[in-house]
Amino acid sequence: MSAITTIIFDMFNTIAQDGPDLWRQSFVRIIEEQRLDTDPESLRHAWDYGSNNFRERRIDPHGPFISYLDGWADAFARAFADLNLKGDPQDASQKSIEDLGTRPIFPDAPEALSILGQRRRLAVLSNADDAYLHPVVARIPADFAAVASSEGGQCYKPDARLFQMVLRQLDAEPAECVYVGDKQFEDVKGARSAGMSVVWINRKAEPLNPDLPAPDAEIRTLLELPDVLDRLT
């Protein structure tokens, strides 16, 4: 295997935290600011239907590109209609985007990135709108050679075109890069399709899906990554 010169990271649930508890805070904010007669759990349940539909649309390589801002606005519109609420779906989606930009960084990330950045180039490739990806990147104490997004590439992981885009930005060959992400479908499958090595950060110890490509290595925290990369090189 060629020497690994570059590490490309997914962002959310890899470097920055995301999850139901953080999203619940956004739903509370939306309900309070729009004075909606509902509760966070009911709104989330109704929103999930449209959000899951948006996920299916965005991973369709033949469909038109839809940003998270627009896709989530559609999900809120459906949720408000289902709950008979007179809410503003565009504003609700915008508030969600703003909140995503404030997501906290995992405690292991700064130290791991500092160690890794001494020997290799670092980059970011995330399924995200720039409006919330870049504010998170700006708070990370690391020097990234490239920061690429689905919005910039007008397609979503696992589409190989997105990985090829960041390779062009880095002027790098797939064999010298390793991708680190938390999802077997979007991250492992996508990076594999572009010819990269892949490390799956599996913080919750989820089982591998045998129907999807397997990673080259699996870790629980980013602090395990330096030793893993030495073995992969």
Collapsing DSSP to helix, strand or coil, 92 comes out as helix
* Mean local confidence (pLDDT), 89-103: 98
Q: Among residues of the chain, what percentage have pLDDT more than 70?
A: 99
Question: What's the rounded Cα separation, in Å, for the pair 183 and 202?
Answer: 8
List the one residue out of 167, 165, 168, 170 whose CA is nearest residue 154. 165
Task: Measure the N-to-C terminal CA separation of the chain; round to a whole number of Å.
Answer: 6
Chain segment 47-73, per-residue pLDDT in tens:
999 999 999 999 888 889 999 999 999
Buried b (16+ CB within 10 A) or exposed e, 158-173: bbbebbebbbeebebe
Helix ranges (H only) for 18-58 are 20-34, 40-58
Question: What's the rounded Cα separation, in Å, for the pair 8 and 60?
Answer: 24
Tokens of 67: 């940003």
* Mean local confidence (pLDDT), 87-100: 98
Collapsing DSSP to helix, strand or coil, 30 comes out as helix
Residue 12 has pLDDT above 60, yes or no: yes
* Mean local confidence (pLDDT), 75-87: 97
Tokens of 195: 């010819």
Cα-based distances in Å from 141 to 113, 117, 223: 8, 10, 15
Tokens of 121: 């180039």
Name, in order, each residue with C-beta under 8 angstroms of 32's C-beta and a sequence gap of 6 or more: none
Range from 1-15, 125-139, 164-178 carrying the lowest mean pLDDT = 1-15
Instruction: State the DSSP code for 44.
Output: H
Q: Indicate the pLDDT class of residue 21, thresholds 50, 70 and 90.
A: very high
* Mean local confidence (pLDDT), 223-231: 94
Question: What's the rounded Cα separation, in Å, for the pair 137 and 40?
Answer: 28
Q: What integer best gives the mean pLDDT of the chain?
A: 96
* Mean local confidence (pLDDT), 82-90: 97
pLDDT value at residue 2: 60
Residue 193 has pLDDT above 50, yes or no: yes
pLDDT value at residue 1: 45
Tokens of 148: 């690429």
* Mean local confidence (pLDDT), 83-100: 98
